[in-house]
Amino acid sequence: MRTTMTALALVLAAATATGLPAFAEGAGGAAGAGPGVAAAPACGPGEVPLFDRLDADGDGKVTGVEVRAARAARVAGLDADGDGFLTADELTAHRLRRVETAIRNR
């Protein structure tokens, strides 16, 4: 249980560090939305929107099971040594790969 909570805390911290700044860019409000409602970040070429990635069975609803499965897959993909934990080095390496990819795709 502690391993799961630690992994979840790390994933949430990583999501907060990487997702909220992009989401906050639209803090002026999406077209037609009320004040303070952020526009969803646009997907880049070839990217699948988050909802579609989470909705594994394609029924138009995202369940807790689907969210947990996506989180587990994300942690497994970032866990370079396969020990079930994410270290600061693993998260930094992931972030560096994303930056390098963004620079290459300019």
Tell me: the pLDDT tens digits for 2-45?
555 555 555 555 555 554 344 433 334 444 444 554 555 566 77
Q: Which residues of 47-80 are buried (b: 16+ CB within 10 A; e: fewer)?
A: eeeeeeebbeeeeeebeeebeeebbeebbeebbe
Provide the CB-side half-sphere exposure for 97 (13 A, CA): 9
- Confidence bin at 63 (pLDDT 50/70/90): very high
How sure is the predictor about 46, in pLDDT bands with cuts at 50, 70 and 90? confident
Residue 27's pLDDT is what? 39
Q: Which two tokens stand for residue 40?
A: 């969803």
pLDDT at residue 78 above 50?
yes
